[in-house]
Structure 1
């Protein structure tokens, strides 16, 4: 518990730094939100009136003090583009981004980890060459290009995938929100038609992100397994007559998991950034597309709220990884 408390103590300066940097960056970006929302035909007096109403006519220290005061009360401001509180918008859109990101991570893990293990066990074989080709393709292809390519091939040419119009086709209604994940909520409601529609809409964007995240996971799994398989205790286990499956999964893979878990944490943080582009390609109504639209409109509050939410998720993820380390290897807890 002391290690967890020390870890939590490091979160405070991190979040303070994120708040300061985000506030300053939004203020130096080109564009004037007052002029944008006043419209192209507005005169200077109208623009000045909107700027005063938004508090943008105040000095930066005064604006920052007001922003910190609002944060202390849980107020992230209002999104000028929708008129709703930023916290409400993020809470409504975060499940969509989380469903997409977690599904992509599960797909990539289910492919990359077995592929990395097989490539290490059969080094130099055909499966090892396949692993290298797949990881190279995943690293080389930009995520937005992969998304557009998937839409062109599977929707436009083959007609296997539905139109990229968001989480559900226009002919279906949203299931009752329980978790915010349409696939899970439709199953809980017993609505298989909506589940199939939600899963079909989810597959292409999740596959796009999965290809992006597959490469580092497979590479790290292969490298870590190769290192462990050459260890003395593995040779001893083989000499003792243990089955190859037991040696590989129970002994080798467990000892190779720490670098893989670290990579999973890094990949998840990468996906939080990459899903911004994927959400725009597939019209996915997540927090990423919300932040991009706000950035285009010079709407400060949603951008600041998005960055702060991603920082909190990233910090929480690192804390979870530290706890998982202790479960995998008790020596980590002793050293902490």
Structure 2
């Protein structure tokens, strides 16, 4: 298993280098002038030139790239002109909010999609199977921002069950002492049930939006994988041996059907990181997605580069975790490694 992890890490180095190069070049071709934006509409050409020189934007691209990589090796992602803070500090402050939202949405999706997919495969052609297809179609068809706006309209504006979509906590709740950055966990650590309920009510709708978005691929893959496994010889042998239906499905079929599902979960998690950008804007969620959008509007290079590089590292770490999980689920992977 250790050899497999080392081999995977070796293959990720070129990917990270490619992300660094492509991100640097793409930010330089974005429309708009960073110096002119921050100088203001009344700035003179001389003032704009001074700001451009101060930011190093008057240097040739190879010189700018070498400076960027040199700072990156030292762990310096630059400074955000929008917030006036180092990008590393901004990302460290906002990343837990995005991670909490993404993971909570994925957990809701898994809690619904996995049982639904298994039941749809076991009871093929029943109403549960048709419900599975409807859920999959709806999840693929509805844009994530439309789903978010629809949930806000129904549960906040019409029914009044949900709080105003204005961040992670309402105005009457105070943030607990920061331990993990996850408000749900930090409030439990601080033994503050009121803050926990406030954080849970705020995260419910955006997490449900992401869950609906990710229901379709997880449900369809679970159903298809279970159907393939239920028709295998070892499942028929287990049934012929007199094992109960629960043992056959839970012990034999579901575990062998999990490998394609785990792969799908990894892909869905990466999709959710991208969908976070829209969801955070709809719900005023203070995560890295809204941070990157604000920097993109202002042509602020450093936060955009830091955001893309952080997402790339998270994606690499996620794929590594999936490879390790393969070995836990299927011992044959460990033997091959």
* TM-score, normalised with respect to structure 2: 0.99
State how far apart, in whole Å, the 1-side matches of 2:18 and 2:180 are: 32
* Dislocated runs of 4+, deviation >3 Å: none
Partner of 2:105: 104
Residues 1-336 of structure 1 mapped to structure 2, 5 A cutoff? 1-336=2-337
After superposition, the C-alpha distances for 1:4-27 in whole angstroms (9 at most, x for unaligned) are 111111121111000000000000
After superposition, the C-alpha distances for 1:134-192 in whole angstroms (9 at most, x for unaligned) are 11000000000000000011000110000000000011111110010111111111111
After superposition, the C-alpha distances for 1:305-326 in whole angstroms (9 at most, x for unaligned) are 0000000000000001001101
State how far apart, in whole Å, the 2-side matches of 1:333 and 1:187 are: 37
After superposition, the C-alpha distances for 1:226-283 in whole angstroms (9 at most, x for unaligned) are 0000111111111111000000010000110000000000000000000110000000
State how far apart, in whole Å, the 2-side matches of 1:5 and 1:188 are: 36
State how far apart, in whole Å, the 1-side matches of 2:78 and 2:44 are: 26
State how far apart, in whole Å, the 2-side matches of 1:156 and 1:250 are: 46
How many residues are treated as equivalent by the alignment? 336
State how far apart, in whole Å, the 2-side matches of 1:331 and 1:238 are: 24
* TM-score, normalised with respect to structure 1: 0.99
The alignment yields a C-alpha RMSD, in angstroms, of: 0.6
State how far apart, in whole Å, the 2-side matches of 1:257 and 1:185 are: 32
SS in 2 for 1:176: coil
- Uncovered stretches (5+) of structure 1, i.e. residues with no partner: none
Deviation (angstroms), 1:335? 2.4
After superposition, the C-alpha distances for 1:176-225 in whole angstroms (9 at most, x for unaligned) are 10010111111111111111000000000000000001110000000000
SS in 2 for 1:167: coil
